[in-house]
Structure 1
Amino acid sequence: MIKDFTIIVPVFNEEACLPELFQELKNYIEISAVKSEVLFVDDGSTDNSPQLIETYCLDNPDFNFLLFDKNYGKGAALKAGFDLCKTSILGYMDADLQTHPEDFEKLLPYIEEYDLVTGWRKDRKDSGFKKISSKIGNAVRKVFTKDHIHDTGCPLKIIKTTSAKRIPMFKGLQRFLPAMILLQNGKIKEVPIPHYPRIAGFSKYSLKNRFMGPLLDCFAFLWMRKSYINYKIDEKG
């Protein structure tokens, strides 16, 4: 039975979004179906994000943080969160509030049966460029991964911690989390969730990191799939 939950929030230069994000996460923790806590991982922000995170977390016992010494990328932030997580399940969301923490409640009912449950932003509230580039990116990834997920990049996911810790993360691999769970012979589930316009700040994605980076990551995933070691221990003594 699932008893506890860690929400990992990677942050990079999101000071304008953080005050509202803090409040929404605090509100969610009070109504969550399972005991929940939050782990912020600041990925070398150059604005006031680290100071805001540290101040807020020191005043709120259910909130913790890691501050990177420089920018390593979202994959590194998630890997650090996975490594430190001590609860039975973990999830993550972006700091831009285009997904909301209360929508974890739509995913939680499935995590007993599945190893990863991911959101599906069926009605995207993004610019035309972002919608088209995400559609193309998802289509290309499905060709490589055959995971049959509509919205691999959705930044609202829940994963069993034991499964998450077995994912050999490398830069960009956050785009392939469902496929990596399938490599473990795990089960994945996609659930429609709302999507919201960005309330402040700006997107960190460009033409280069929406197309060229993900395409190269697909080839890295193919190597990973071929080389991945998967085992189960039957007995210990």
Structure 2
Amino acid sequence: MEFELTIIIPVYNEEGNLDRMHQEMNVFLKIAKKKSKILFVNDGSKDNSQSLIEKICANNEEFTFITFEKNCGLSAAVKAGFDYADTLWVGYIDADLQTAPEDFNILIDYTDEFDLVTGVRSNRKDSFVKNMSSLIANGIRRAFTNDGIDDTGCPLKIIRTDMAKKIPMFNGLHRFLPAMILLQNGKIKQTPVRHFPRVAGVSKFNLWNRLLGPLQDCFAYLWMKKKYLNYRVAKQG
């Protein structure tokens, strides 16, 4: 049976989480509703992440990796994963394991009808400041994009790969995935998933890249929406 889903795991200085990620992904692979494989994208980590990734991939045919020359950011890692995926569907989860790989099966249930399915983190286990800044940022983004998504920052998504590959590269991309699928006249769905506290590593987000940065990205999105080209071939001969 061929692989149907590639799960992208961006990694930046996550050595404390990779062994646990390996274990939890192995559990998911045994119960996955779509035959799945894992693609680590090492975003220029400066710790021991790369050697751990190579060790994992050397002993598991379902695990592969690519490594950036230097740190380029989460959006670049996600986009690189889209570019390298060769399955019908592509998924995304953060290496911090604040969402559960098993919950991909919840999203998979909706893939017959929708082109992007994203989780909504239930009962979030983050700090008050982090939750409030995320709530405000999501409200601002919805006002600009009208995508109707309550938690676009949830790091658990599944997208049709051909549509994911058409998404243009820009910083902040990961916050606008549902909106970019809507620009392609795709159908999107959100559904509750579990959320857990971070138990290892350090969050890469702060007030700037969680609130003020996304506000700037919204204006970039409006410009892109106005200029976006979308076509479908009616006949070929």
- TM value normalised by structure 1: 0.97
**How do 1:1-237 and structure 2 match up within 5 A?**
4-237=4-237
**What whole-Å deviation, never above 9, does each CA across 1:66-91 have from its counterpart, x for those lacking one?**
01010001111111111111100010
Amino acid at match of 2:27: N
Q: Could you list the runs of 5+ residues in structure 1 that have no partner in the other structure? A: none
| Structure-1 separation of matches of 2:41 and 2:125 | 25
After TM superposition, where is structure 1 displaced by more than 4 Å over at least 4 residues in a row?
none
Separation of aligned partners in 2, 1:3 and 1:201: 31
Equivalent position SS for 1:7: strand
The C-alpha deviation readout for 1:92-133, integer Å capped at 9, x for no partner, is: 000000001100010001011100000001311101111001
Partner Cα separation in structure 1 for residue 199 and residue 213 of structure 2? 26
Counterparts of 1:130 and 1:33, CA distance in 2: 33
Determine the C-alpha separation between the residues in 2 that align with 1:6 and 1:35: 9
The structural deviation recorded for 1:3 is 6.3
2:18 and 2:52 in contact (8 A); partners too: yes
Q: Is the 8 A contact 2:134 2:211 kept in 1?
A: no
Alpha-carbon distance in 1 for matches of 2:67, 2:193: 30
Q: Which amino acid is the alignment partner of residue 157 of structure 2?
A: K
Report percent identity of matched pairs.
Answer: 58
Give the match's secondary structure for 1:110. Answer: coil
Instruction: Work out the CA distance in 2 between the residues paired with 1:207 and 1:192.
Output: 25
Aligned-partner residue type, residue 99 of structure 2: T
* Alpha-carbon distance in structure 2 between the residues aligned to 1:106 and 1:138: 22
Supply the AA of the counterpart residue of 2:79.
K
What amino acid is the match of 2:41?
Answer: V
SS state at 1:55 partner? helix
| Structure 1 vs Structure 2 CA RMSD | 1.1
TM-score (norm 2): 0.97
Q: d(CA) in 2 for partners of 1:164 and 1:40?
A: 17
Deviation of the 1:230 alpha carbon: 0.3
Q: Is the 8 A contact 2:3 2:37 kept in 1?
A: no
Residues of 2 paired with 1:100 and 1:169: CA distance?
27
Report if aligned partners of 2:103, 2:193 keep a CA contact under 8 Å in 1: yes
Gaps of 5+ in 2: none
C-alpha contact (below 8 Å) 1:173/1:221 kept by paired residues:
no
Equivalent-residue separation in structure 2 for 1:26 and 1:3 (angstroms) = 15
Q: How much has 1:34 moved relative to structure 2? A: 1.4
**SS of equivalent residue, structure 1 residue 16:** helix
